[in-house]
Structure 1
């Protein structure tokens, strides 16, 4: 972190804001305004400089304030790490904007948008207002984001008028999306289009409007609640991992400052006014210097070599890294990009672009970065001195550390030697209990699509058919739920105007005329995996194939916006390895660490899955479940599927209605049984299980690609 910025964060003396404007404050927080006084609301939020630590996050936000072309910031981190607080505090530091007076789309008087819906602006009058921070709620509607027909004017005046949305309000400001990973897909698509083209397009209900929408996109997310779509992830210029400090002294300072702010927000903000003023002035100075900063050929060559060395897709990484390095040089008051600027820019711009799928761990291999920088080392011709290029790289357990830990834990690609079918491994009396084995998954493949029958009303997703507030409009109906279908409402009201005594423009509309839009789309489901981890699965080294299949289904669930859960059973019982969550990355980690071996308590696994379904039905009744049971059907502990045993047989107590009673809990639940049995002689126990559950039976080898089907045919 920059030493000057660090000193600003530590000082608390009240002062006077002086960046071309003057304002005097009393100790009580009252303001005496001069001609160019600063509005007091600019510092009503928690001050940016009062946030303890979070050096990378604050630097990334400041660099975007200096150069919005960097492309925004994605903040990933656990809950309670002040992600939203820091982002909201940024707005107070942004310089004021000159705008065309009366323009709802914030046109720049120096270069008004020729397609502005409020234009054309001939010799526009200028006004100055603070930069806006516009928040996009996760549950916002499409109309709220892009704008729509002004319903009030349409009904009362009979005219088509456009009502701007949040994209128009965010133009030339900051668009902030909290919990961006939970944003509905249709909103993500609109956001992607606007961020890519810098313009918003509205084509609906007879309205055709386009306007400028260039904004700084900032998103925060908790990875535990699900990952971000790759298309949107790549749109963020920089990414930062936010984590709470483990230093007790720093944590105490955080609590102390927060309590002081809650006790006296105005007084607390006043005590940081000087630091806020200095940061705002520094942003303005860096913006003025930015056009003069030079990115030399050596620096550009190092950036492109590093991006190629890390094997990132496309060229957006090269562009973002170059823009970030330029902004870093301007932030530090230099005219040339230094090697440290390149290092810091790479650390902020590349980690999220190196992920090939949602199961790859985020982060950057610092050792590899050092090697690439050493191979492409350079020094600017007129280097003014020390770079001070931000915080030094932190040993935060990046990719190289993760690889070392995996290689040192003693696991090979197939784990330990498998046990026999019963998981006993031929142990003699007094022999030590073997350590449960672990197998690694292979490369995921594209599995078959499994859907839930019927039409649901769950959360928007991409798996099963659903009706609700998202998706395409398929018709109109009476009722009280859903958005108003304007065209159908007007058609219903039109024949009754004479009888209702209408005179003049507009329509007379009654409650019986209102029609609601009927939409059909796709929903996300609860995909619950019930995985057999017993010794019979590992005896023929099938667990690696099983993990590959489940990993592929997990990836499919991620792409279709499902919630996922994982129940495993082995030995004498079953456990909920992963409670239902939107984070398939967590599911992949639990699957990778899943031990195998022991007997097969099939009934216990199904019973545990049924309990999970009952609990989730109470928590989220609109989300329909899809259960995927992965097993060979052998039950060597507890009840088994099949006809009753002969009296006096050793299995008599294990056969009977118990397992069938458990299976009855899955009545009406879409269930798939993945048959893992292999070899020339097959017992068909998974088929019996599928019949008991009323489930679809799918062979493991034929779960995905054509190659899998060919392997299954050869094995048969």
Structure 2
């Protein structure tokens, strides 16, 4: 993590760092420490956009600044972007007071302008609205911000070190957004008791006397600041040879990353690593260090792939250490940047040894990533494993017993996820931004105005003021409408919200046929993948035998749900009523935590109820109770075969739920069904 932060400070064009890790691993502390060791910047006095006085081509909207304009040196800013920030706060907005009092249109700079030449830090970046992530990643990549809004048209520089931190347990970033971060690192607390004790010892020392603790490390911190400044000055002259470019391309192609952004970022990172290590040209060690930081998050093929890199494959592609040492040889003529053969052979093959003191940054970088399985092995979905039965399964003991048997069946694996149909909650909600159901939102299309909280609707505000003046016969003051607080109107926007998808899965003996359970798990996995893309929270309840259990409380981490789903065993009776009542308890608790989060119950069952003497009656009462609570529900009917009892359809009626046969969960399957019905007559049922 330290190496990634330093390299991005050396070359902000890398595009920022995403730090993923469990809670309590000092992610935020480390990021805040970065601003302390970055070299101070010189700015014009009174310039809100912090342009560099030494850069003759830099233009500030607050300028122009003449040669005699005073300047000052200030520390680098650490600007924090809160999760609940708005687009106006990020980009800047019109100064409303000046606009309404004097008619002047002036921009109030946003956080991107404030972060110029500094550090922009987003904690819990995976919880940030997607459109804000897009905006700040675009700014980080281009180095400029263009504002075209509210009668303002300007652009300003926004070159900053972008750092995002996140806990994967709270939900992942979409792969498209992951790709926009230049580097990514995984952090975890040390397992060595001695290291853990040292962390606690230092923390206690800091709490006891912060000034003395800072003084103890002042010299090392000053040395780190100097090294970063030296590397920044050197990085522009680092030579990236054609051989180095070809090797970067070979590495990116070997890991099958999409697009060319990985090649560009890896090359920039390798150059920054060479500058940090004191070399004037890129070596194999630099490419290896860069690949370990720039590629792990770009090799994900689906939302449930764990980030990581197969280091054995990386070493095979890079080749033997002796081969790619054509750095120092003077073969092509116009290569040397400043003087023939470089005397900088003093930094040999020590994997990133830099100047005095801080060789630990380079030495530890091969261990940056936790141990990962090979990137082409079993963590990918198992395709149609159930069609060719793996030999490692125990021999199926007689045919699976019907629902009365208590014997567990081996856990079936899910197949490859497909594109499912869209399931939505009816009505208009007010939940967190997402991509599923209609909702009142802070972004989206404008559908009206109100007197509540939100962004100002200027036209409706002026209209309300004019109408009030006409009603009161107050006329205008000096030809202008006089605005009063009662006239203020805010925009009502409609967008999409995230929902809580509670999967209630029947894992009883009636579902235990291996091929059938694999199809059920594949359908649920497909819906989980869709929930990931639509930013939903998910929860998982399983019922079998005589009980129902909450396997996964509501969370944003659908990866955990997918892993639990594959390990879900099956067998035993069908306690359908217990499953419905457990689902109701989960939803009731979650409603107390977040009243705006609208749920959608996805019940996956064949509709049978066999646990207990009055199992059918109790399941009907439980379904009626849920329907009375107004819980939106979908019943995915798993019954198969030419003769069907229709129990799941009857259950959907008691739940007042939408009934979806499992073959219609797939969007393609639904199209085929609708097309077939169109040939035979009008189709019935609601299609979301």
Q: Does 1:450 align with 2:423?
A: yes
Indicate yes or no: 2:556 matched with 1:614: no
In 2, are the aligned partners of 1:366 and 1:398 still within 8 Å (CA)?
Answer: no
SS at match of 1:76: strand
Q: CA shift at 1:445, angstroms?
A: 1.1
Return the offset for 1:531. 0.9
CA distance in 2, matches of 1:414, 1:178: 46
- Assess if the C-alpha contact under 8 Å between 2:576 and 2:615 holds in 1: no
Of 473, 479, 482, which residue of structure 1 is paired with 2:454?
482
Contact 1:362 1:399 (C-alpha < 8 Å) held by counterparts: no
Q: How many residues of Structure 1 are paired with residues of Structure 2 in the alignment? A: 639
| 2:16 counterpart of 1:72 | yes
Q: C-alpha separation between the residues in 2 aligned to 1:239 and 1:628?
A: 35
Counterparts of 1:97 and 1:508, CA distance in 2: 45
Equivalent residues of 2:20, 2:185 under 8 A apart? yes
Structure 2 counterpart of 1:700, from 642, 662, 672: 662
TM-score of the aligned structures, taking structure 1 as reference length? 0.83
Q: 2:26 aligns with which of 76, 82, 85?
A: 82
Instruction: State the alpha-carbon separation in 2 of the partners of residues 456 and 97 from structure 1.
Output: 47
- Report what 1:513 is aligned to: 487
Instruction: Give the Cα separation in 1 of the matches to 2:379 and 2:661.
Output: 35
- Cα deviation 1:618-671 (Å, max 9, x = unaligned): 111110101111111122223xxxxxxxxxxxx6x3343553234322332211
Q: Give the superposition deviation at 1:401.
A: 8.9
Q: Which residue of 2 aligns with 1:559?
A: 533
Match of 2:325 among 379, 387, 390: 379
Q: State the shift of 1:478 in Å.
A: 2.3
Partner of 2:372: 398
Matched, 1:578 2:552: yes
Aligned residue for 2:432?
Answer: 459
Deviation at residue 550 of structure 1 after TM alignment: 0.8
SS at match of 1:109: coil
> Could you tell me the TM-score, scaled by structure 2's length?
0.86
8 Å CA contact retained: 2:39, 2:229:
yes
Task: Confirm whether residue 295 of structure 1 aligns to residue 224 of structure 2.
Answer: no
Aligned pairs for 1:155-170 (under 5 A) are 155-170=100-115
TM-aligned CA deviation for residue 168 of structure 1: 0.8
Which of 186, 196, 202 is matched with 1:241 structurally?
Answer: 186
Quote the residue 1:154 is aligned against: 99
**Gaps spanning 5+ residues in structure 1: where?**
1-56, 428-432, 639-650
Indicate if the aligned counterparts of 1:687 and 1:697 stay in contact, CA closer than 8 A.
Answer: yes
Question: Which residue of structure 2 aligns with residue 46 of structure 1?
Answer: none
SS in 2 for 1:630: strand
CA distance in 1, matches of 2:226, 2:372: 35
Pair 472,192 (structure 1): closer, same or farther in 2 beyond 3 Å: farther
Q: Distance in 1 between matches of 2:448 and 2:461?
A: 12
**Correspondent of 2:633 among 671, 684, 692:** 671
Is 1:660 aligned to residue 633 of structure 2?
Answer: no
Q: Residue in 1 aligned with 2:46?
A: 102
Distance of aligned partners of 1:687 and 1:414 in 2 relative to their CA distance in 1, 3 Å threshold: farther
| Distance apart, 1:457 and its partner CA | 0.7
Matches within 5 A, 1:355-370: 355-370=300-315
Shift of 1:448: 0.8
Q: Which residue of 2 aligns with 1:59?
A: 3
User: 1:526·1:565 contact (CA, 8 Å) conserved in 2?
Assistant: yes
Q: Distance in 1 between matches of 2:150 and 2:160?
A: 27
Task: State whether structure 2 residue 499 is matched by structure 1 residue 525.
Answer: yes
Deviation at 1:711, TM superposition (A): 8.8
Task: Supply the distance in 2 between the matched residues of 1:420 and 1:536 (Cα, whole angstroms).
Answer: 15
Does the 8 A contact of 1:419 with 1:538 survive in 2?
no
Residue-by-residue CA offset, 1:139-179 (whole Å, 9 max, x unaligned):
11121111111012122222211111001111222111000
Match of 1:496 among 465, 469, 482: 469
Displacement of 1:569: 1.1
2:300 is the counterpart of 1:337: no
State the 1:504 CA deviation: 6.9
Task: Describe the SS at the equivalent of 1:462.
Answer: strand
- Quote how far apart the aligned CAs of 1:402 are: 9.8
Closer, same or farther: CA 438–94 of 1 in aligned 2, 3 Å = same
- Kindly indicate whether residue 83 of structure 2 is the aligned counterpart of residue 138 of structure 1: yes
In the aligned structure 2, how far is the partner of 1:311 from the partner of 1:253?
41
Q: Distance in 2 between matches of 1:264 and 1:472?
A: 54
Offset of residue 198 of structure 1: 2.5
The secondary structure found in structure 2 opposite 1:451 is coil
Aligned to 1:53: none
Contact 1:534 / 1:596 at 8 angstroms: preserved in 2? Answer: yes
Match 1:623 to one of 597, 600, 606: 597
Verify the 8 A CA contact 1:606 1:663 in the aligned structure 2.
Answer: no
Please state how far the C-alpha of 1:85 moved relative to its aligned partner: 0.4
